[in-house]
Structure 1
Amino acid sequence: MKLQDALFNWLQIRLVADARQDDNAAKETESFFAEILRDDHKLEDVRIAAIDETMVHVRYEQEGKTKLQMFDREHAEQLLSDIAANPKYN
């Protein structure tokens, strides 16, 4: 899986896990993507650094360097919106 895809997948499920504290499946899935980032891409300290009106800022360390990746907020929050809109999951 490409780094960009793995980061985005991690971000989407992290937003879900943060919003749905009792959702164990979301927590497990977030751990899965965190493992991919750590093991396959050698990232450390992956975190959401900021959320503004239009972007979500993800900061991480790779090979001793701090890096920042920004994602469109609406796109990043789409999974959470989809889950919230489906009564089956609420």
Structure 2
Amino acid sequence: MKREDALINWLQIQVVADARPTDQSAHSTAAFFHQLLQEDHLCRELGYKKEGGWYVLFGLSDSGPWESRYPAEMVESLLMAIESEPRFNQ
């Protein structure tokens, strides 16, 4: 998987996991992408913050610190889809 795809997948599911602390599936999936980023792309100290209408994803790699920005609407789309599905909210 390309680094950029893995980063956005991790960010989207991590936002879901943070919003839904009892959702073990979200936490497991976030852990999977986190491990993939560490092992395949040598990304460490991953984190994110929300700034206005953007999510800022940051971390370290062998080439040093980096940041990427993603529109909040895109990042939160997975959370909104999950929360709008009744079978996931029982």
Distance 1:8 1:17 in 2: 14
1:6 is displaced (CA, Å) by 0.2
Deviations 1:13-68 (A, max 9, x none): 000000000000110000000011000000000001x2122210011000151100
CA distance in 1, matches of 2:62, 2:51: 27
Q: 3-state DSSP class of the match of 1:40?
A: helix
Residue aligned with 1:67, SS: strand
Superposed counterparts of 1:10-21, under 5 Å:
10-21=10-21
Q: How does 1:27-66 map to 2 (within 5 A)?
A: 27-48=27-48, 50-63=49-62, 65-66=64-65
Q: TM-score, normalised by structure 2?
A: 0.95
The AA in structure 2 aligned to 1:28 is S
Normalized against structure 1, the TM-score is what? Answer: 0.95
Aligned AA for 1:86? E
Runs of 4+ with >6 A deviation: none
Give % identity.
34
Aligned residue type for 1:84: E
Unaligned runs of 5+ in 1: none
* Residue in structure 1 matched with residue 72 of structure 2 by the alignment: 73
